[in-house]
Chains A and B, each alone.
Chain A
Amino acid sequence: MKSSSTSEKSWVHYYFKSTSGIVGAFLVLIMMTISLCAAFGWMPHDPLIQNPMDSLHKPSSVYWFGTDQFGRDIFSRAMDGMRRSMTVSIVSVSIAGIAGVSLGIIGGFFGSWLDSLVVRLSDVIFAFPAILLALAIVNSLGNSWIDTAIAIAIVYTPIFIRVARGPVLIIKELDYVKSVRVLGFSSVRILRSHVLPNVLAPILVQIALSMSWAILTESGLSFLGLGTQPPDSSLGLMVSEAQPMAAFAWWTLAAPSLFITLVVVGLNLVGDGLRDSLDPSRRQS
């Protein structure tokens, strides 16, 4: 429920009391910073420039995470890959979140045929393993990052529909919502000031978790060769390129794996922290 009185501590206060929340926020912040630096071109080396003389260098003070078979700096490539994953993740979860929450709230609140259509549609999408559906859609759309983002958005929209629709079904039957309806409040006003604030908590948690799945799906797709194409870098592609070399050049595999793992761990911990701090019954004082 929304905190309106000033004496009540906000959820942010409780969030930073949980260890997982702090660690998660820290990891996500680092990865966001890395992505931003890559976006501005602040990387130790150019991720695309090949230096055949420096091929397969061990990690050193010049090349922090070593170089690949073309002598490209792995740290810079991983930074650029992180930027790509992060962009796809943010864009796809924004699309899925907005579409899913609107459909879920509208369906749940107004009911009737619209609701059954929404539920049917999400059942259909739910009936696929996520990666397979994304694979089919990316295959149809194309290999640019926006195609990947759209594919992932379609896959994860039903989850937001479910998360938003469930609470709406309960809230619209509550006495106080019924009474403001009797008072003649418009549906838009009821939705905005009574329904939306109450579904916000589970949606925030879902955003954090979906972002981590989106990163896993994006890197999985590019690992399979769909999505980002060489010579551009992406974390999944880097792992797939490292496969034949990992035996004698472990660092080619280490950097992209570490980046994916850290960001997914971070987002999951943020999700845990949000769940604990937004739910009053789970708060630790």
Chain B
Amino acid sequence: MSLVKSSGIISRSISVLVTLFGISIFIFIVLRVIPGDTITGSLGIETGVLTPEQIDDLKRYYGIDKPLILQYFSWITSFLSGDLGFAYSTGVSVLKLTASALPVTIELALFGTISGVFMGIAVGMFSAKKPGSVRDFSGQLFGLLALAVPGFVLSTTIVTVMANRFGYFPNGYEYMTPWEDLGMNLQQMLFPGIVLGIAVAAPVMRTTRSALLETVDKDFIRTAHGKGLKAKTVRYRHILRNSLIPIVTMTGIQFGYLLGGAVIVEKIFALPGMGRQILDAINRREYATVQSSIMIFAILFVTINLVTDLVYRRVDPRIK
């Protein structure tokens, strides 16, 4: 039995590796189409005064004079050995940049997921208690708006209201890691976390509502009521617990997508995470940083999906 299970994990992991290989090729192709190369990006209009020999020298220096296939292999081999390249403008290694940016994004994503799951399950339960009622309607309206109001609109509104009406805006100060100043860090994570959480809450709410409504009609719930259990016990112990599988799945899926939302939210709330690292690098046309950072993002995303899948199998013994 355990052999069967572990072989499932192995085959799943192999297919993840194949996907990651495809992703690396895809990223390489997409980013190499960039008009204007690293040289123009780093020197700007001064490129025009360079002699052809100087340009060739620079190309050799940046390693972009070789055929594409060789460029790919030199990138991927150095990537795998931990050499993610340098940010040309600052001279800092991308590995170092990532080491400080990645925890920020992961913390933000955790914040978003946790607040999203709580909001989603709460509103979902609130809605499902009396289907078709006014409270159900308002719960569903919340779900719809959470889906429709873009994160950047919500963030801009929060920033405006908090900073100008209440004079409270922790993100206006320099970013603090949890080790430097935990209180400040949590305050800085609060609003961006909630914005991301609301995006997660919408699908979690919908899933919770329909899972609850489906479970309520099951025989074992009627039995539980018939046994004379308190309504509250039935609701939390029996109905909610048996509805958890679709909710867990939905949360896992959303956790991945939330990483995408982080790009926008990090920019607005001035958090130095992966999303901002990528945006800055794109604006500065730094191939190496963009390429390696997006690759890391993709690895993170794929890993999360793999973990969700494995957790899902654990939670529901029926899935093989």
Cβ-defined contact, A139 with B153, below 8 A:
no
Closest to B15 in A: A123
A237 to B145, CA, bound (A): 21
Q: Which listed residue, B18, B33, B156, touches A246 by the CB 8 Å rule? A: B156
Instruction: Please name all residues of chain A whose beta carbon is closer than 8 Å to the beta carbon of B298 when the two chains form the complex.
Output: 127-128
Cβ-defined contact, A253 with B157, below 8 A:
yes
Q: Is B124 an interface residue (CB 8 A)?
A: no
User: Could you give, for residues 123-156 of chain A, a 1 whenever the CB lies within 8 Å of some chain B CB and a 0 otherwise?
Assistant: 1110111111001110111100000000000000
A256 to B153, CA, bound (A): 9
Q: Is B164 an interface residue (CB 8 A)?
A: yes
Instruction: Please name all residues of chain A whose beta carbon is closer than 8 Å to the beta carbon of B149 when the two chains form the complex.
Output: 257, 260-261
Cβ-defined contact, B27 with A243, below 8 A:
no
Cβ-defined contact, B260 with A247, below 8 A:
no
Instruction: Please name all residues of chain A whose beta carbon is closer than 8 Å to the beta carbon of B283 when the two chains form the complex.
Output: 225
A269 to B20, CA, bound (A): 36
**Looking at B22, B30, B148, B257, which has the most chain A CB atoms within 10 Å of its CB?**
B148
Closest to A132 in B: B260
Cβ-defined contact, B164 with A247, below 8 A:
yes
Instruction: Please name all residues of chain A whose beta carbon is closer than 8 Å to the beta carbon of B156 when the two chains form the complex.
Output: 239-240, 242-243, 246, 253
| B residues 244-300 touching A (CB-CB < 8 Å) | 256-257, 259-261, 263-264, 267, 275, 278-279, 282-283, 290, 294, 297-298
User: Could you give, for residues 135-162 of chain B, a 1 whenever the CB lies within 8 Å of some chain A CB and a 0 otherwise?
Assistant: 0000000001101111111001101100
User: Which of A73-81, A182-190, A215-223 lies at the binding interface?
Assistant: A215-223
Interface of B, secondary structure class, is helix
Cβ-defined contact, A265 with B145, below 8 A:
yes
Instruction: Please name all residues of chain A whose beta carbon is closer than 8 Å to the beta carbon of B263 when the two chains form the complex.
Output: 129, 131-132, 135, 224
A265 to B256, CA, bound (A): 23
Closest to A226 in B: B282
A275 to B159, CA, bound (A): 37
Instruction: Please name all residues of chain B whose beta carbon is closer than 8 Å to the beta carbon of A240 when the two chains form the complex.
Output: 152, 156
Instruction: Please name all residues of chain B whose beta carbon is closer than 8 Å to the beta carbon of A92 when the two chains form the complex.
Output: none
Cβ distance B305 to chain A, nearest Cβ, rounded Å: 8
Q: Is B19 an interface residue (CB 8 A)?
A: yes
Q: Which listed residue, A125, A136, A239, A253, touches B294 by the CB 8 Å rule? A: A136
Q: Is B301 an interface residue (CB 8 A)?
A: yes
A127 to B294, CA, bound (A): 11
A219 to B302, CA, bound (A): 26
A90 to B300, CA, bound (A): 32
User: Could you give, for residues 186-202 of chain B, a 1 whenever the CB lies within 8 Å of some chain A CB and a 0 otherwise?
Assistant: 00000000000000000
| B residues 27-50 touching A (CB-CB < 8 Å) | 27, 30-35
Closest to B160 in A: A246
Instruction: Please name all residues of chain A whose beta carbon is closer than 8 Å to the beta carbon of B294 when the two chains form the complex.
Output: 128, 132, 136
Q: Is B95 an interface residue (CB 8 A)?
A: no
Instruction: Please name all residues of chain A whose beta carbon is closer than 8 Å to the beta carbon of B23 when the two chains form the complex.
Output: 124, 127-128
Q: Which listed residue, A129, A137, A257, touches B260 by the CB 8 Å rule? A: A129
Cβ distance A152 to chain B, nearest Cβ, rounded Å: 13
Cβ-defined contact, A219 with B297, below 8 A:
no
User: Could you give, for residues 99-128 of chain A, a 1 whenever the CB lies within 8 Å of some chain B CB and a 0 otherwise?
Assistant: 000000000000000000000110111011
Cβ-defined contact, B257 with A127, below 8 A:
no
Instruction: Please name all residues of chain A whose beta carbon is closer than 8 Å to the beta carbon of B20 when the two chains form the complex.
Output: 127
Cβ-defined contact, A261 with B297, below 8 A:
no
Cβ-defined contact, B264 with A220, below 8 A:
yes
**Looking at A129, A248, A253, A260, which has the most chain B CB atoms within 10 Å of its CB?**
A129
Cβ-defined contact, A127 with B148, below 8 A:
no
Cβ-defined contact, A120 with B22, below 8 A:
yes
Cβ-defined contact, B301 with A128, below 8 A:
yes
Closest to A151 in B: B30
Cβ-defined contact, A127 with B19, below 8 A:
yes
**Looking at A120, A124, A223, A261, which has the most chain B CB atoms within 10 Å of its CB?**
A124
Q: Is B163 an interface residue (CB 8 A)?
A: yes
The contact sample of 23 A-B pairs, CB cut-off 8 A, is: A120-B19, A123-B19, A124-B19, A127-B19, A127-B298, A128-B297, A129-B259, A131-B260, A131-B263, A132-B260, A132-B278, A136-B27, A136-B30, A212-B148, A219-B152, A220-B152, A223-B150, A223-B264, A236-B150, A243-B156, A246-B156, A247-B160, A261-B150
Which are the 6 A-B pairs with shortest beta-carbon distances? A129-B260, A247-B164, A264-B148, A124-B22, A246-B160, A140-B33
Sample of 12 further A-B pairs with CB below 8 A, known A127-B305, A131-B263: A123-B15, A129-B260, A129-B297, A136-B30, A136-B282, A212-B148, A223-B264, A226-B282, A239-B153, A246-B160, A260-B149, A268-B148
